[in-house]
Structure 1
Amino acid sequence: MRKRATTAALIVAIALALAGCGKEHATAGETPGVSDTGSTPSSRNTSGSPEPTSPSAPTPSAPPASPYVEPGAGDGAPHYRENNGFRIPADMSPASAADAQREAARIEPVLKHLWQQKKWDPATVRTAMLQLGYKEEHFDAKGQSLGGTLQVKPMDSRYENGGYVTPEGARVGLRVHDDACVTAFVQKTNYQVSTNGPYLEGGCFEPRGGH
């Protein structure tokens, strides 16, 4: 009986020892992918540094307006007025504009009559203008006016077929005041009379070129 009791006690002791070892193994084990604090690891790349965050693309904005475009200047090209100032007539005062229009009304029927008679050469046109009482303007060697208000010139030459040609006809320029002119022309196809302020480099006539 004593031997059997001793054997039974030994079996119980071994069983208890085996049960204790199993519990300790389970406590030391960890669930894959979960830290000992129970939190999920952060996402990282193969180098161990955080994955970079792609920045959001900036919203495109409209380009700023050109600082060189001048409002109302021809086609809006940069420096239009600066580059073409020699072709822009000066302003006329209301009184001067009225006087210029009155002289234009005297000249128009004379040019119409010459055009109907097919007489548009500069000499004939000049004679007709002098008969209206105008005085032809003359200049000294420096370009200073010596008096008179009327100029009659041939038509501007133009480039055709490899060379410059001067069309038939005549141009008329009459300085009514320092700020007002009558300009006109008569040629084979038509005639025209208009008023304008003087040009910086051409007087009553619009200059063909500038600096």
Structure 2
Amino acid sequence: MTRRSAPAAAVSLLTAGLLALTGCGTTVAGAGNAREPSAPSATPSVDYAAQAAAAVARHDKLFPEIAARCAGQGAPAAAGTPGAAGTPGTRPTDPEAGKYAENHAYKQQAELSPGARCRGDAHAARIRAAMTGSSGGKGAPHTVDELRALLMGLGYGFDSGGVYGSGAVNVSFVLSVPESGPCVSGRLGPPVSVRAHGVYVEGGCLEPRGGH
């Protein structure tokens, strides 16, 4: 009886030893080894009002005379509100007029805050004076190249726009006021025309082509 039981006991001991050796290099999932999943980090909110104020401050350093003129015009808007030209946010009651407004909705522009309107009008007046030669500069431009050089000399770029035309024919420009906006568009004429406006609802200062 003892001889027959010995092999079985040896097998049991050998099996137990193998399990013990295997366990030394094995990590067993359990309460002692599991890690609590880290909580997802919260996405910080963007302070658009602070960004707009910082942009206006950078603008004011570039154009101190316009900053002085528009001081006290209220806090800058974080974003414009799309609206139809003339009466933003209204819709004609006449069916035909309503259809026309719908077909030309792509031409809608963002509404300007009082501060943006003041800056835009001041820049428009500054550019108009240079384009007509009344600001005491080198004289009025007559070609695309002359107008581009004049605007760049005044401190304007064309990241959102450009100067367009063929020679001295139909010369016009579109630009965004550096750092803060808004848009300023104009043409040599005659007569010279320069105006400030908000960005188009489809984006950018250049009037989009489209509609239906």
More helix by share: 2
TM-score by length of 1: 0.46
Rg bigger for which structure?
A: 1
